[in-house]
Amino acid sequence: MTLAPPLLYRSAALVAVNKPSGLAVHRGQSRDPVHALQLVRDAVGAYVYPVHRLDRATSGVLLFALSADAARSVGAAFEAGRVEKRYLALVRGNPPDHVLVDHPLSQDDDKPARDARTGIVTLARYGRYALVEAIPQTGRTHQIRRHLKHLSCPIIGDVRYGKGEHNRFFRTEFALHRLALHATRLTLTDPATGEPATIEAPLPDELAQTLAALGERAGAPTPS
């Protein structure tokens, strides 16, 4: 039996959980028999509306609305850029200390590229690897993964945009069998209260342990 993801936040309008890597948000993302939407629906005893995307391989803060009105309100906030999203990613390469990646991205092959911007801040360096915080200002498909590839700093464990030899190294050396991308924080106005809400998701054990082991090897402290 698959357990519901840990609850991070609940109000009259919203519910947020800490989604594990490998769990699809809803049936449209995969043919898996279990999805986050049904697990959260059953856990809270109410229908829930997905209001944003997390890739199946990405872990972290996943938000649902508890009514159609709340879903429309939050959806409009996402569209207008009034929701702040922050992610941590472990990457190969030497990213800048701080950079705004302003690089248009296409949603699929037959449509023109659309404006896409992601702020990148480097938090720690471990020789050939680095820990970065990514702050997307737009919401394109695979935006963070594609923008980090554009910087020549692909995310560890990314089988689509990354490097196989580095992914294999982390599987062998650190038993990391997932995409090293985690949604750490979501800040928005809760439609139920009209007040700002900041929702945070702790790093899963497999990522925290990998960062700690990298820090020991490189003699670099891991940021809290």
Residue 11 located in a structural domain: yes
DSSP-derived secondary structure letter, 155: B
Q: Are 184 and 86 in contact (CB under 8 A)?
A: yes
Residue 2 located in a structural domain: no
Residue 224 located in a structural domain: no
Residue 111: pLDDT over 90:
no
pTM of the full predicted structure? Answer: 0.92
As for how many domains the chain has, the answer is 1
Q: Other C-beta atoms within 10 Å of 88: how many?
A: 22
Residue 71: pLDDT over 80:
yes
What percent of the chain is predicted at pLDDT more than 90? 81
pLDDT of 149 reads 97
Higher-scoring residue by pLDDT: 40, 33: 40
Residues in contact with 89: Cβ distance below 8 Å, sequence separation at least 6, in sequence order = 131, 132, 133, 134, 144, 148, 155, 180, 181, 182
Higher-scoring residue by pLDDT: 44, 220: 44
Residue 41 located in a structural domain: yes
Residue 1 located in a structural domain: no
DSSP, residue by residue, 160-177: TTS-HHHHHHHHHHH---
* Catalytic site positions: 55
Q: Residue 140 maps to which CATH number? A: 3.30.2350.10
pLDDT of 54 reads 93
156/131 Cα distance (integer angstroms)? 10
Dihedral of CA atoms 44, 50, 54, 57 in degrees, nearest 10, equals 60
pLDDT tens digits, 7-32 = 999 999 999 999 999 999 976 655 67
Q: Residue 61's closest CA among 106, 17, 123, 91?
A: 17
pLDDT tens digits, 79-90 = 999 999 999 999
Residue 32 located in a structural domain: yes
